[in-house]
Amino acid sequence: MNEEDRLGQDDAVTGSRPAAPDSAPAADRAGRRPGPPVIAALVAVVAVLVGLVVILSSTTRERPSVSAPARTRAGAVALVDSATIAPRPVSADQLAALPIATTFGTTANASRDPAPDQVPSGLVAHPTTTVAVFAEPGGEPVAAVPAGQPIGLAPRQSLSDTWLPVFDQRPGWALVGLPSRPNGSVAWLHIDRSIQLRVSPFLVTVDRAGFTLTLARDGARVGQWPVGTGKTGSPTPAGRTFLLAALRDTESTFSEFVLPLGAHSDTHQIYGGGPGTIGVHTWPSAAVYGEASSDGCVRVPPDALRILVGVPLGTPVLIK
């Protein structure tokens, strides 16, 4: 196992979320995670200020306020609707018995993404408490989603706010991507007052054949960079996933910042004791870019990573 696997897929998920680098362009700093707008029910809403996240150095940074979309904006989900299907009741004991949807978990009864090549709207959801997600609106519960995602291994494990991409909508419900195995797991989340909804203006696209990563904001390209992707024996998995966390590891010898995704290697079940989480990180040698050079991670140039660490959690990542 090379150093990328030991750190990129184990130690890389043992740090905590980084402060945004000062070198990122002002336009990108304005969209710091999870900067997308709040969605409220049937009313116009005002700008919000999102909380602070502890980083490895014990410093914090404030998330930005952003304006909310109009009710008619694509991606809005009504919190109250007379046609909403009520969720099936789930007791505390039943909730505790459900598989946990984290990067360490497996949600075998969750459905697979029905449209893995489709660009999502950018709507993202954050449960403020542990909630059940369901096979369909009003259907059986298939997993429990916690408010925070455990990142890393003890004793350095930390929590990162759970922000999930919304792939489809029905009145009062959102089909969300899950960070658990198997890849492409999705489930229906009932939208009530425990769920915060915002819109990320960003989309990350990884072209495995062209060895490029493209970052777009509101449909306009922010940047495109050559990248290294998984080798033949350990390919980077295709489909829709999302930015799960942003970590800083000052002890890393190859990438100070690592961005774990909500996807896993289909080849390696374990990387150095970790769950085989796919991540985005840089590499000391530029020779790795533009070719299949990793064990599944996406290796990006340092200037790309400095911008990507400012993209909101939950932002969809389309790997094709």
**Residue extents of the structural domains in the chain:** 3-18+202-319, 74-199
CA distance 203 to 214: 8
State the amino acid at position 139 in one-letter form. Answer: G
| Residue 268 bears catalytic tag | no
CA distance 199 to 35: 8
Rounded CA Rg of the chain: 18
pLDDT higher for 17 or 174?
174
The pLDDT of residue 5:
39
Scanning 30-155, the segments in alpha helix (DSSP H) are: 92-97
pLDDT higher for 178 or 54?
178
CA distance 280 to 256: 11
Tokens 């922000």 correspond to 163
CA distance 116 to 120: 10
pLDDT at residue 78 above 70?
Answer: no
φ/ψ of residue 6, rounded to 5? -65, -40
pLDDT band (50, 70, 90) for residue 256: confident
CA distance 37 to 46: 9
Looking at 126, 264, 268, 281, which residue is catalytic?
A: 281
Structure tokens at 169: 């909508």
pLDDT band (50, 70, 90) for residue 82: low
Q: Which of 282, 280, 295 is nearest to 235 (CA)?
A: 295
pLDDT higher for 183 or 256?
183
Give burial (CB, 10 Å; 0-12/13-18/19+) of 251.
Answer: exposed
Q: State mean pLDDT over 200-216.
A: 99
Euclidean distance between the first and the last CA atom of the chain, given in angstroms as a whole number: 26
CA distance 59 to 61: 7
The pLDDT of residue 311:
98
- The DSSP bridge partners found for residue 181 are 106
The pLDDT of residue 24:
39
Is residue 8 helix, strand or coil?
helix
173 Cβ contact list (under 8 Å, min separation 6):
77, 84, 85, 137, 188, 189, 190, 191
pLDDT at residue 11 above 60?
Answer: no
Looking at 190, 264, 268, 297, which residue is catalytic?
A: 297
CA distance 254 to 51: 30
pLDDT higher for 153 or 44?
153
Tokens 């519960």 correspond to 141
Which superfamily, per CATH, for 3-18+202-319?
L,D-transpeptidase catalytic domain-like (2.40.440.10)
Q: State mean pLDDT over 290-305.
A: 97
Q: Is the peptide bond before 120 cis (omega within 30 degrees of 0)?
A: no
Q: Which of 57-71, 104-118, 202-216, 281-295 has the lowest mean pLDDT?
A: 57-71
Q: State mean pLDDT over 138-166.
A: 95
| Residue 190 bears catalytic tag | no
CA distance 185 to 116: 10
pLDDT band (50, 70, 90) for residue 188: very high
Structure tokens at 141: 């519960």
Please, are residues 244 and 260 in contact by the beta-carbon 8 Å criterion? yes
Q: Which of 57-66, 140-149, 293-302 has the lowest mean pLDDT?
A: 57-66
pLDDT at residue 192 above 60?
Answer: yes
Share of the chain above pLDDT 70, in %: 73
